[in-house]
Amino acid sequence: QAMSGAGSNVTQHHMLLLLIQLLQERHGSQLKLDRRVHAAQQFLDDHFQRPISMAEVANVAHLSIRQLNDLFRHQVGVTPHQYLTEVRMKEAFQLLEQSGHSVQRVADSVGYSSLSAFSDRFRRHFGKPPSHFRRLST
């Protein structure tokens, strides 16, 4: 199955995040993130259900937004914003497949106040609209 350039980028991001997660689980203490990056990552993992500003994340990490972006990208492989999008899309996909919730409720659950913004982001991320995955499970 041939993938478009955008699709392969998405796949690369997913594979990178999965690899990082597996390495962290396997080598826990050996793969130490900078404590500021870890604080930012933990904050994103804990609060992705609501709107988050990068200024808020930078504040938690005690860094400027630029420092946070540079350090996070260097250690995690993506920017904090890209990481947040990955976390939200992964959760949204699971909710659509498993919960039977409306697309609006899923969007609300992963921090999007706008259904159209969520649908656009989801379509760019997975190549199909959220309703496609919801229909598959019903």
Q: By the 8 A CB rule, do 44 and 80 touch?
A: yes
Give the pLDDT confidence score for residue 104 in this predicted structure. Answer: 93
| Rounded (10°) angle between helices 65-76 and 80-98 | 60
> And the tokens for 54?
């990068």
| Rounded (10°) angle between helices 5-27 and 115-126 | 90
Question: Over the stretch 43-86, which tens digit does the pLDDT of each residue have?
Answer: 999 999 999 999 999 999 999 999 999 999 998 889 999 999 99
Task: Round to whole Å and give the CA distance between 14 and 36.
Answer: 23
Give the pLDDT confidence score for residue 24 in this predicted structure. Answer: 65
CA 112 to chain centre: 13
First to last CA, the chain: 25
15 or 64, higher pLDDT: 64
Q: By the 8 A CB rule, do 45 and 90 touch?
A: no
Determine the average pLDDT of the residues in 84-90: 94
pLDDT band per the 50, 70, 90 thresholds, residue 29: very low
For the entire predicted model, the pTM comes to 0.74
**Domains located in the chain, CATH noted:** 85-136 (1.10.10.60)
pLDDT band per the 50, 70, 90 thresholds, residue 105: very high
Question: Which positions ≥6 away from 105 have C-beta within 8 Å?
Answer: none
Question: Which positions ≥6 away from 92 have C-beta within 8 Å?
Answer: 106, 107, 109, 110, 118, 122, 130
